[in-house]
């Protein structure tokens, strides 16, 4: 028999209510294995990973001038198996709204930010992961400029 109410949306709603959703924020310029290890570990904390990528304008506020534009950085992140969704990070205030509206269970970021986002603890788990030593976008830029 043909069901009148399509099952797919129901299954998606059901799935989304049981999925453990993770979010992280960052610039992710000149993507390197430190970023990939962060994304891999973040994704492993749940069933779905959203990455909020800093826009070019927001990066200027962080004192960062990116090599890749926002759309290039977003496109690269969308190609990573650990990333399920990419959204823009446009300001410092959006995290609580993002966590609430997207029903996020875990906020993850590298421990260079240790303690900086503890205000999110009343809304979700907050996990600071050890950074990968010996690699950074800044180091990549300087080694390229020396060569």
Contact residues toward ligand C2G (CB under 6 A) are 25-28, 34-35, 38, 54, 62, 89, 109-110, 112, 131-132, 135-136
| Cβ proximity to ligand C2G, 38 vs 49, nearer residue | 38
CA–CA separation, 78 and 135 (whole Å): 22
| Cβ proximity to ligand C2G, 14 vs 129, nearer residue | 129
* CB of residue 15 to ligand C2G, shortest distance in Å: 27
* CB of residue 82 to ligand C2G, shortest distance in Å: 12
| Cβ proximity to ligand C2G, 78 vs 112, nearer residue | 112
Burial class (CB in 10 A: 0-12, 13-18, 19+), 81: exposed
* CB of residue 41 to ligand C2G, shortest distance in Å: 9
* CB of residue 51 to ligand C2G, shortest distance in Å: 9
CA–CA separation, 72 and 68 (whole Å): 6
Residues tagged active-site? 62, 64
| Cβ proximity to ligand C2G, 19 vs 135, nearer residue | 135
Residue tagged 């029903």 (tokens): 103
User: How far, CA to CA in Å, does 71 sit from each of 28, 56, 81, 97, 129?
Assistant: 12, 9, 18, 23, 26
Burial class (CB in 10 A: 0-12, 13-18, 19+), 31: middle
Residue nearest to ligand C2G (CB): 110
CA–CA separation, 111 and 66 (whole Å): 22
């Amino acid at each position: 028999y043909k069901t009148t109410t399509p099952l797919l949306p129901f299954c998606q709603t059901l799935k989304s209510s049981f999925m453990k959703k993770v979010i992280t924020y960052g610039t992710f310029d000149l993507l390197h294995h430190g970023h990939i290890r962060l994304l891999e570990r973040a994704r492993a904390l749940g069933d779905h990973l959203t990455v909020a990528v800093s826009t070019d304008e927001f990066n200027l506020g962080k004192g960062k001038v990116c090599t890749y534009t926002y759309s290039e950085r977003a496109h690269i992140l969308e190609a990573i198996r650990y990333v399920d969704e990419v959204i823009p990070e446009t300001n410092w205030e959006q995290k609580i709204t993002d966590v609430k509206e997207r029903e996020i269970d875990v906020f993850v970021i590298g421990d260079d930010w240790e303690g900086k986002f503890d205000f999110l603890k009343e809304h979700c788990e907050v996990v600071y992961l050890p950074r990968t030593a010996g690699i950074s976008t800044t180091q990549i830029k300087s080694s390229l400029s020396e060569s």
